[in-house]
Structure 1
Amino acid sequence: MQDVSTLTRLDSFPYRHRLAEVMAQPVLTALVDISVAAACDRMDRAKVSSLVVVDEAGRALGMVTERDILRCLAQARAAALDMRLFEVMSSPVHCVPGDAYLYVAIARMTRLGLRHLVVVDGTDRPVGMITGRALLKVRASQALVIGDDVAQAEGAADMDRARKALPDLAAGLLADGVSARDVAAVISTVLRDITTRAAELAERGMIADGWDGAPSPFALLILGSGGRGESLLSFDQDNAIVHTGPPAHDVWYAEFARRLNGTLNEAGIPYCEGDVMARNPFWRRSLDDWRTEIRHWVFEPKMQTVMNVDIFFDFLPVYGDRDLARELKRIAFDTAATSAFFLQFLAINVARMDVPLGIFGEFTTTHGKLNAKKFGLLPLVSAARAKAVKSGIEAPGTADRYRALAEAGLLHDDDLASLLDAHEIILRVMLEQQLRDIAAGGAPSARIEPRQLPRLTQKRLKTAFKRIRTLKTLIGSLQAG
């Protein structure tokens, strides 16, 4: 593992920008059966040094670069021009999703000695390219491998070292002017990477111990704030499994989940107190069982339903069959949209939430503190989710949901700006409080001391709580829309 103590002194650009913002596009692609000569013609016309080889569905299979072609010509001479791309391509191709942060590409290309990295969409189709030349424009160092090192971890101790680097990383990013929302996204990305690696190690360990591979397609899901990309420094496990097998297959998934959850706990991501984890059979189901359970939530709603929806509808797949996870999300949103009563139930849940302001606008606290998650973050997140479910907006992030509502004409631009500002300031004061808690040797908490904040921050926080108070009216109008 690299020494990550210098992270706070690094340029934050790679942690603030996603690959989709800096990749070269469009990417040149070709089917596996075209000739090298035809590929050379295409590359020359496009003025590029590489192309991505794809299957008939457009998914990346390999890559052909100028170096590959020169090597082929040196070996086969003129006959090389008649060879097919599948004979000369480099495979498998190294791919990263477009929503990954730039530091992931920097670290991976450095570690693997790559000159090109393919950027793919959610269906593994190429949408862009990251090249070594482009990365010369980014200042970075070996310490940027914090996230990518997780992919090479061989046990919980390796992952725990990466997790322990998060507070210093968060503090450095905040000091560099990075938004709290983006810092939360970086933290979430690292935690997702840790979960993915823990899943890989769990399955690998099972096979080493004599188990067969997974008996049917499955997906591991991260729920709640981790799925939304809004994790701060106080986190635990929230995960689930969906699979396509019969009940007999659950023996395998139960063992997988036991190992997964145990490894994450050892890596410093503690067991969920509410047992919202894949080791709990309730959160480990076949697709058909999830369909039935979702119908119970939608057509027989109660307060426990709200708790489950709060966690489940924000899920994101981190391991396994992503198409299966997409099918589950489609089922969840399509089912929810059919019940006006369920949607109203979610809206009522938001409307009953209170804010910590007195009649004269002063903070109302207990022993000088208030729970910013309960009174600030939860109403903002819940309101965005309620309308997203009604409108079929599958984006899991709170800010992305509000932006999608505005783009659909369901939220005024002024409302959008004020809600995003409220979300940002609440995330920031929570994150800063958690950093102070950690520095003092305590556990990070959502309880802040508002009167100890700078006056300008107090003013912004009060404005945020006042804006949240109006969510009762806003959510009602949204549900009517």
Structure 2
Amino acid sequence: MPYSRAMAFRRLAGEHMGPPPPTLLPGSTVGAAVEMLVETTSAIVVIVDENRIPRGVLTEQDVVRRIAFRLEDSAALDGVASRPVRVIRSGDLMFHAIARMRRAHLRHMPVVDDRDQLVGMLTLDGALAAINSQLVDQIENLTQADDPAGMTLVRAAQIQVAEQLFSDDVPTPEIQSLVSHINNDIYRRMMRHCVATMENEGRGSPPREFCLIVMGSGGRGESYLNPDQDNGLIIADYPDDQHDAIDGYFSELSERLTQAMHAAGMPLCNGYVMAVNPLWRKTARQWRAQMDYWLAQRNGSALRLADIFFDFRGVAGERRLAAQLRDYITDRLHNDRGFLREMYLQDEGFGVALGLFNRFIVEKNDKAHRGELNLKITGTLPLVDAIRALALLHGVSETGTLVRIANLHALKVLDNDEADYLSGAYHHITNLLLRQQMADQRQGKEISYYVHPDSLTDREDDMLVDALKAIRDLRERIRSDLGGGLF
């Protein structure tokens, strides 16, 4: 049965994949592949390496071509299989898979996990059967040409879909997740565009494997309507004497990417947290050394940069580089109360918007927003920072705030009431913020994180007070958890 419009845009490829197709190792013969297709009645055979990473695909069409060219059964499968392998990640949104299969005229697509290992297979017929037929046009709008002009159209369609989901009462965190997925898809497609452009200009292919990462709200999957760029690169290790040539390539690639994203409607980061800045473009070994340096220094600059970095997520390229670095960071920070205490002290200045007698603390200095609440700086940010500190302390590797809360609850770090109040606080504040941003968008106003208290109903006002009180209580508790009341 097809899903509703709202549900279809939130479905993940992994939720609709079937079992993995049959596999063979590199060096297998055409005869072995054909025999496997016949025995399993599968439509494809995937060539995987020793780590189950897809390296080639043999389809029924390839078999027909093999018969036409009268290849012997003993012929090497590598010479017949289709390459490169088009795959979808199990955590990617299903509409991306539908668009890719339709455009490439594919009926089947292997599904891989975040470490690029084969975990299943998606069929076009099955995917289309799961969605409403009228969604196909919107899927096309969200998957335009891989250039800045096409991505500008995707950004416009993204807002329309978000507004539709909001009007359908889809929870705001799920809309944020969708917006983040679409932004990540724009990053991936712009990266492909920039790499292809450099190849066409004779600059060659990337000299090393790499992973593009996003940080901040994008890394947590919590983007709003108008995020700026927060990105970096993890590059596979290489000898020091090759630095100029290899980093020179990635420096230019980063410059092209950030400018392409800017042209597509994602502004440059005012704080220069972008891969074009060498601080955010390093090899895997250099990132580990940078992490060790931050942990050792614990000064204001090191703590601020680490705070920015810790919510990173791999979005393009070899994402296993990001997964490996995430494992390293999680292990290094687990139970490191000293560093996390110092980092949390850096964030303590961002208090909640509640003063004496639980009255709202509103903006006084910014004339454009005087009397309004900045629900990011004095609402979600104090919650995000506090939950991040607790999650890192207890070895939770996930980056999303709600997922972190759920994991901390499962670990009995948060009790039932704490988890319920904090999850509710996040839902309510993000709902107020996104509603205001959509209203500002429709009216042609600058999109910000300000909400006027007068725009709230009495019930929303009461719920906001309760939400901010829960966050304030959490911050008081963390002072004890991280330092035993010593700071």
Q: What TM-score comes out, normalization by structure 2 length?
A: 0.86
Whole-angstrom distance in 2 between the partners of 1:68 and 1:414? 58
Whole-angstrom distance in 2 between the partners of 1:416 and 1:117? 39
Aligned residue among 213, 221, 243 for 1:221: 213
Closer, same or farther in 2 for the Cα pair 1:37/1:129, shift >3 Å? closer
Whole-angstrom distance in 2 between the partners of 1:385 and 1:27? 39
Q: For 1:55-454, what aligned pairs fall within 5 Å after superposition?
A: 55-65=49-59, 71=64, 75=68, 86=78, 89-135=81-127, 136-139=129-132, 140-149=135-144, 152-153=145-146, 155-243=147-235, 244-245=237-238, 246=240, 247-248=243-244, 249-337=246-334, 339-349=336-346, 353-366=350-363, 367-454=370-457
SS in 2 for 1:374: helix
Whole-angstrom distance in 2 between the partners of 1:465 and 1:289? 39
Whole-angstrom distance in 1 between the partners of 2:74 and 2:287? 51
SS in 1 for 2:314: strand
One-letter code of the match for 1:122?
D
SS in 1 for 2:316: strand
1:225-262, CA deviations, whole angstroms, 9 ceiling, x for partnerless residues?
11111110121111112322434233222222221111
Moved more, 241-250 or 262-271: 241-250
1:381-423, CA deviations, whole angstroms, 9 ceiling, x for partnerless residues?
1122212222332212111222222233322233222222211
Deviation at 1:476, TM superposition (A): 4.1
SS in 2 for 1:215: coil
Closer, same or farther in 2 for the Cα pair 1:216/1:58, shift >3 Å? closer
Deviation at 1:424, TM superposition (A): 1.5
Deviation at 1:145, TM superposition (A): 2.5
SS in 2 for 1:318: strand
Deviation at 1:310, TM superposition (A): 2.7
Moved more, 333-342 or 14-23: 333-342
SS in 2 for 1:231: coil
1:188-217, CA deviations, whole angstroms, 9 ceiling, x for partnerless residues?
112112222222222233333332333333
SS in 2 for 1:56: coil
Deviation at 1:468, TM superposition (A): 0.5
SS in 1 for 2:9: helix
One-letter code of the match for 1:470?
D
Whole-angstrom distance in 2 between the partners of 1:168 and 1:467? 33
1:351-403, CA deviations, whole angstroms, 9 ceiling, x for partnerless residues?
55422123333323233311100111111211222122223322121112222
1:64-86, CA deviations, whole angstroms, 9 ceiling, x for partnerless residues?
456655x3796589x98777765
Over the aligned positions, Cα root-mean-square deviation in angstroms equals: 2.8
Q: Percent same amino acid at aligned positions?
A: 31
Whole-angstrom distance in 1 between the partners of 2:47 and 2:456? 55
Whole-angstrom distance in 1 between the partners of 2:253 and 2:80? 38
Contact in 1 for aligned 2:23/2:46 (Cα 8 Å): yes
Closer, same or farther in 2 for the Cα pair 1:376/1:105, shift >3 Å? same
Deviation at 1:425, TM superposition (A): 1.4
1:320-352, CA deviations, whole angstroms, 9 ceiling, x for partnerless residues?
332333333333333334743102223434555
Closer, same or farther in 2 for the Cα pair 1:231/1:361, shift >3 Å? same
One-letter code of the match for 1:399?
L
- Does 2:19 match 1:16? no
Whole-angstrom distance in 2 between the partners of 1:26 and 1:457? 48
Name 1:7's counterpart in structure 2: none
One-letter code of the match for 1:284?
R
Contact in 2 for aligned 1:369/1:450 (Cα 8 Å): yes
SS in 2 for 1:128: strand
Name 1:4's counterpart in structure 2: none
Aligned residues: 464
One-letter code of the match for 1:345?
E
Whole-angstrom distance in 1 between the partners of 2:335 and 2:457? 47
SS in 1 for 2:126: helix
One-letter code of the match for 2:260?
T
Whole-angstrom distance in 1 between the partners of 2:282 and 2:24? 39
Moved more, 55-64 or 221-230: 55-64
Whole-angstrom distance in 1 between the partners of 2:396 and 2:62? 43
1:113-172, CA deviations, whole angstroms, 9 ceiling, x for partnerless residues?
2221221101222212222332213113222124432xx32x322211211222222111
Closer, same or farther in 2 for the Cα pair 1:102/1:88, shift >3 Å? same
Structure 1 unmatched runs, 5+: 1-9
Closer, same or farther in 2 for the Cα pair 1:30/1:81, shift >3 Å? same
Closer, same or farther in 2 for the Cα pair 1:73/1:419, shift >3 Å? same
Aligned residue among 457, 460, 464 for 2:463: 460
Contact in 2 for aligned 1:181/1:230 (Cα 8 Å): yes
Moved more, 466-475 or 332-341: 332-341
Aligned residue among 43, 57, 63 for 2:40: 43
One-letter code of the match for 1:230?
E
Q: What TM-score comes out, normalization by structure 1 length?
A: 0.87
Whole-angstrom distance in 2 between the partners of 1:450 and 1:25? 52
Detail structure 1 runs of 4+ shifted over 6 Å in the superposition.
79-84
